Structure 1
Amino acid sequence: MMNKKIPVLPTPHIDLGLLFLRLAGSFMLFYVHGLPKVLNYAHELTQIEDPFGMGPQLSLWAAILAEFICPMLIALGLFTRLACLPILGVLLIAMLVVHPGWSIAEGQFGWLLLVIFISIAICGPGNWRVLPFNERTGRY
């Protein structure tokens, strides 16, 4: 039996959908949560929850990584799956530890962000990104 390579067909509609998901989800997280934390750093230090007793500064830096830096990487399609991990961690901590009493309606923004970033982590960035992945060589 001959080993035939199955050609990889272009999937522009899937790539467009993944690009839209990356840009929209990253923008919402960045604009609503990340940017205010960076612009109002001193005030945020007095407001941030510290559920594990790490101190407000370390908690705020973890949130800035997840809500400011990682969304930029995801929007560009750089280290996308890896960049989803801090976001998922912070969102799960927020929804299950910091706000466990919230109803689905009260926490809908957080739950929707979880759906978006879990989907991106599963699917990856798609082909439309800064450094396209070459499936043939396995390199960027």
Structure 2
Amino acid sequence: MLYRFLFPVRPEGAKTSLLLLAARVIFGVLLMSHGLQKWAGFAQMADVFPDPLGVGSRFSLMLAIFGELVCSFGFLIGFLYRLAMIPMIFTMAMAFFVIHSQDAFAVRELALVYLVVFVLMYIAGPGKFAVDRYFAVKERGR
């Protein structure tokens, strides 16, 4: 009884997978928009972008673009899902805990929202409607 209350839907059920797909699409597109803004303004931002890792502003910006644009696309379609999420989670953790650590919470809040959602999505997995699922089924069929 308690189990059904805590876990009312099978984790791999169609409804759960549709919810995970919706979350992937929404948050993937939202994060991609930040990556596109950074990519479009690369020349202006390359010399002034924060460098919390000590690898140079230009390379830090490239890493942020990779995490926000390339990895969020993999997250969105469910391709190498958990691997793609590691740079996304790391980027949002750096934004919240390091880059904006001295800013007001209202400035840091968006990075925290992304961070929490991505950690929860990492734990939940991509669901049935993901490219990774296709490869998993194909591999099992061998």
The answer, yes or no, to whether TM exceeds 0.5 is: yes
Compute the TM-score of the two structures, normalised by the length of structure 2.
0.82
- Aligned-residue identity in percent: 30
After the TM superposition, list the runs of 4 or more consecutive aligned residues in structure 1 that deviate by more than 6 angstroms: none
- The worse-fitting range, judged by mean Cα deviation, of 51-60 and 96-105 is 96-105
Other-structure match for 1:129? 130
- The worse-fitting range, judged by mean Cα deviation, of 77-86 and 37-46 is 37-46
Other-structure match for 1:72? 73
TM-superposed deviation, 1:61: 1.1
Count the aligned residue pairs.
131
TM-superposed deviation, 1:125: 0.8
Flag structure 1 segments of 5+ consecutive residues without an equivalent.
Answer: 1-7
Matched residue type, 1:101? Q
Higher fraction of helix: 2
Q: Deviations over 1:79-98 (max 9, x none)?
A: 11111100111111111111
Matched residue type, 1:119? L
Q: Which secondary structure does the structure 2 equivalent of 1:92 belong to?
A: helix
Structure 2 vs 1, CA of residues 38 and 10 (structure 1 numbering), >3 Å: closer, same or farther? closer
Other-structure match for 1:59? 60
For 1:35 and 1:14, the matched residues in 2 are separated by 30
For 2:94 and 2:49, the matched residues in 1 are separated by 13
Other-structure match for 2:13? 11
Compute the TM-score of the two structures, normalised by the length of structure 1.
0.83
Other-structure match for 1:22? 24
Alignment of 1:26-37 (within 5 A): 26-31=28-33, 33-37=34-38
Q: Which secondary structure does the structure 1 equivalent of 2:131 belong to?
A: coil
Matched residue type, 1:76? I
Flag structure 2 segments of 5+ consecutive residues without an equivalent.
Answer: 1-9
The alignment yields a C-alpha RMSD, in angstroms, of 2.4
Q: Deviations over 1:68-123 (max 9, x none)?
A: 10000011100111111001111111111111123443322111101111111111
